[in-house]
Amino acid sequence: MAKQVKRREEAGDERNARSPNPMDIHVGTRVRLRRMLLGMSQEKLGDQLGLTFQQVQKYEKGINRIGASRLFDLAKTLGVPIDYFFEDAPLPALGMAEDQAGYDDKTNDNPVFDFLSTREGLELNKAFVKIGDPRIRKSIVELVRSLAGENHGN
């Protein structure tokens, strides 16, 4: 325990001891995103894992750390490989260089991921992909761009 505290201090970690670790928050966010993409409730996921929905909620917020065996069970239940949970991980927030060996160099500044992490974004995406006519999809994109104040004709 003392070694962990010392390592945090050496890394310049100014987080409160009770605040969630950025990696735990990231992994929890990825659990939530995948669960929502599948249209699964916290209660249903909890039932499949032998947990309460409150425990799932705490995992998704990063309040409770997800252990290796639980992460394995989550990956299996949600139908994703384990590395899915670490995609776009916030390495700079963890005091790690983005080019550190063994880690991807992506950052967490991904507006698409942020958008799909919201209920509205998920619902809009699901409805949009059900539109079969490419001309209608293009018209919707143009409408959204005009509402956002963009003038692109792509």
Q: Are 143 and 149 in contact (CB under 8 A)?
A: no
Determine the pLDDT at residue 98. Answer: 53
The pTM score is: 0.62
Write out pLDDT tens, residues 129-140: 888 998 998 999
The confidence score (pLDDT) of residue 119 equals 81
* pLDDT at 144 > cutoff 80: yes
Residue 68 vs residue 129, higher pLDDT: 68
Query: What 8-state DSSP symbol labels residue 31?
Result: H
Predicted pLDDT at 56: 96
With beta carbons less than 8 A apart as the criterion, state whether 88 and 110 touch.
Answer: yes
Mean predicted confidence (pLDDT) in 16-29 = 86
